[in-house]
Amino acid sequence: MMIANKEYAARRKELMSLMQGNSIAIIASAPEKIRSRDTHYSYKQNVTLSYLSGFPEPESVMALIPGREQGEVVIFCRDKDPLREIWDGYREGPGGAVANFGADDAFPISDIDDILPGLLEGKDRVYYAIGKDPDFDAHLTAWINDVRSQRGSGALPPGEFVDLDHFVNEMRLIKTAPEIKVMRKAGEISARAHCRAMEISRPGLFEYQLQAEIEHEFMASGARAPAYSSIVGGGKNGCVLHYIENRDKLEDGDLVLIDAGCEFEDYAADITRTFPVNGKFSEAQAAIYDIVLQAQADAIKVIGPGIEYNKANEATIRTITQGLVDLEILEGDVDELIAEEAHREFYMHGAGHWLGMDVHDVGDYKIDNKWRVHEPGMVVTIEPGIYIAPDNTNVDEKWRGIAVRIEDDVVVTKIGNEVITSGVPKARDQIEALMAT
């Protein structure tokens, strides 16, 4: 299951249809990053280039030139080099860029200084994500100066830069059917991984051992990386929202909060589950858990076409505030507490975010300062939580150090929504039943 070449071609075509006449778009690959001396971090392609081509290699550049007679899609990439390929692996070469990635024309990257100024020359506008890669910004400036320097012989440099990502990001926000298929699969794999962690959990294991179970399932299922650093926080570590040390021992009687999702075929999943290390919720843990679960259910009810993005967030705030009042953790009138944002002491993040090729995916949340409304093909996470700091002396001791978050991935459909991460249980009795097997 992969994104097909014709889908990439359709994306490029749509982007080119949005570009004004006589313009060029330039998209560079991400640089490789050194981890230690001469070894690199595993390579992550620039997502804009992935989205528009699927081209996986570093040291590549794509130019889109609507209306160019010799072809609109030009790729520069590393040339074939049998000796280097023995050391560093297969390269597509310009031939592969044409045969396998939809380029009309392709050249060795070593020729780009000679060719790209000629492609820029005479264009009115350059669509480019300026400021994201200072090294490539400098190259582009040099090519434009190259055109300027030939002004005397009639060459005209482009007069205007336009933010390319603004256009691409809006396209990425609405997922097509093939994208949703891949995201479903990312959700399924990630859900299985969470089940595996629940099944194996017991007091005395270390947080990193649950991380290992989760990431084993990702990799064994063909998802070659987590979409973000896996969070496995036992007990009070769950109160640290981005806890990624994952090094403590899991204690009997504590909860463990796991926020982990795989990246499958370039698309992210993002799931959080919170469960008792020993398989049985205590009374206090259950009380907090059920509020968060209800808040999530109430939010998912307001995901659907035509509904404002922020309605889900508002639903979680109401349910959590009411729940905390019921447990006497907060005191006062629910509407007044909501107006004062009293929940923020215990629920300090929003209900979710867009999800796609980036875990915190691109796309504006507001248009003209108003929350945008859901459209079919948007994908959001819904992830309410309650975190009671271990040193919060304003609350009864029995609540301190309890942290619960529950997160699922939700696709907006024509008639409502589809939760694509429901393969891992979240009702308390279902979690306890799975952990008892």
Which residues are near ligand GLY by CB under 6 A?
228, 259, 270, 353, 359, 383, 407
Helix H or strand E segment including 186 = helix 177-200
Instruction: Select from ligand GLY, Mn ion, none the partner in contact with residue 78, using the beta carbon and a kind-dependent cut-off of 5 to 8 Å.
Output: none
Catalytic residue among 37, 69, 135, 242: 242
Residue 383 is among the residues annotated as catalytic for this protein:
yes
Q: How far is the CB of 407 from ligand GLY (least distance, A)?
A: 6
Q: How far is the CB of 383 from ligand GLY (least distance, A)?
A: 6
Q: Which is nearer to ligand GLY, 48 or 381 (CB)?
A: 381
- 355, 184 in Cβ contact below 8 A? no
Coil, helix or strand at residue 230:
coil
Where b means 16+ CB within 10 Å and e means fewer, 31-48 reads: eeeeeeeeeeeeeebbbb
Q: How far is the CB of 196 from ligand GLY (least distance, A)?
A: 18
Residue 166 is among the residues annotated as catalytic for this protein:
no
Q: How far is the CB of 186 from ligand GLY (least distance, A)?
A: 13
- In angstroms, rounded to a whole number, what is the distance separating the alpha carbons of residues 264 and 302? 28
- In angstroms, rounded to a whole number, what is the distance separating the alpha carbons of residues 293 and 290? 5
Q: How far is the CB of 243 from Mn ion (least distance, A)?
A: 12
Give the residue closest to ligand GLY by C-beta. 259
Catalytic residue among 266, 267, 405, 409: 405
Residue 335 is among the residues annotated as catalytic for this protein:
no
Q: Which is nearer to ligand GLY, 301 or 349 (CB)?
A: 349
Q: Which is nearer to ligand GLY, 164 or 231 (CB)?
A: 231
Q: Which is nearer to ligand GLY, 228 or 243 (CB)?
A: 228
Residue 333 is among the residues annotated as catalytic for this protein:
no
Residue 59 is among the residues annotated as catalytic for this protein:
no
Residue 407 is among the residues annotated as catalytic for this protein:
yes
| CA distances in angstroms from 354 to 52, 368, 374, listed in the order given | 19, 19, 11
Residue 133 is among the residues annotated as catalytic for this protein:
no
The residues of the shown chain that bind Mn ion, judged by CB under 5 A, are: 259, 270, 381, 407
The first and second tokens of residue 409, run together, are 């991935």
Long-range contacts of 360-364 (CB under 8 A, 24+ apart): 361/172, 361/173, 361/268, 362/165, 362/168, 362/169, 362/172, 362/173, 363/169, 363/170, 363/172, 363/173, 364/169, 364/170
Residue 391 is among the residues annotated as catalytic for this protein:
no
Provide the annotated active-site residues: 38, 242, 259, 270, 349, 353, 360, 383, 387, 405, 407
